Amino acid sequence: MRKVEELVVHGVVFLVMLMLYYETKTFPYANIGGSLGAEWWPQVILTLGMVLTILSAGFEARKETKPGLNLDGEEIKSLAVSVAIFVVFLVASNVLGFAGAAPILMAGFIWQLGGRKITTLIGASLLCSICFTVLFGRLMEVPLPRGTGAIRALSYMLY
């Protein structure tokens, strides 16, 4: 199974490179900038990359592998949950701003990484979000998302 898994991964890498290679064919021709057009370098690298991927796949196919999987269902589930929490945070930061969305990320990942106490979940999430907003947004004047509507207006009072 591990061998099949490796071949599937190589297949995906090859297909991505092939797709990008075809994308280079759509670059518009520009009559400036010398004989090497905008597509020349990506095509060279992608061709090399595809050849290497085929060689590597051949090598993996002949290699003796241990039984089992590199990545099992539980691991994929955990990765999916982590990504989902981060996606929710990124979408929320556009609407709620950094101060509103940071507790979601904090609480989500504290749970995901094994923190189960409600006081820690709520307390640490709020405290860290406030600290980050004050430190980066207010004191360091690092730009942070402000959200939309009333939240945006309110954010100018905070940072």
Give, as one character, the DSSP assignment of residue 28.
P
Residues 6+ apart with CB under 8 A from 67: 1, 2
What is the spatial distance between Cα 106 and Cα 20, in angstroms, rounded to a whole number? Answer: 36
Q: Which of 4, 22, 23, 153 binds other proteins (CB under 8 A)?
A: 23
For residue 53, how many other CB atoms are within 10 A of its CB?
A: 20
Q: Which of 1, 4, 15, 45 binds other proteins (CB under 8 A)?
A: 45
Q: How many residues bind other proteins (CB under 8 A)?
A: 69
* Location of structure tokens 């297949």: 11
Binding footprint of other proteins on the chain (CB under 8 A): 5-6, 9, 13, 17, 20, 23-24, 27-28, 30, 32-42, 45-46, 48-49, 52-53, 55-56, 59, 70-71, 74-75, 78-79, 81-83, 86-87, 89-90, 93-94, 102, 105-106, 108-110, 112-115, 120, 124-125, 128-129, 132, 136, 140-145
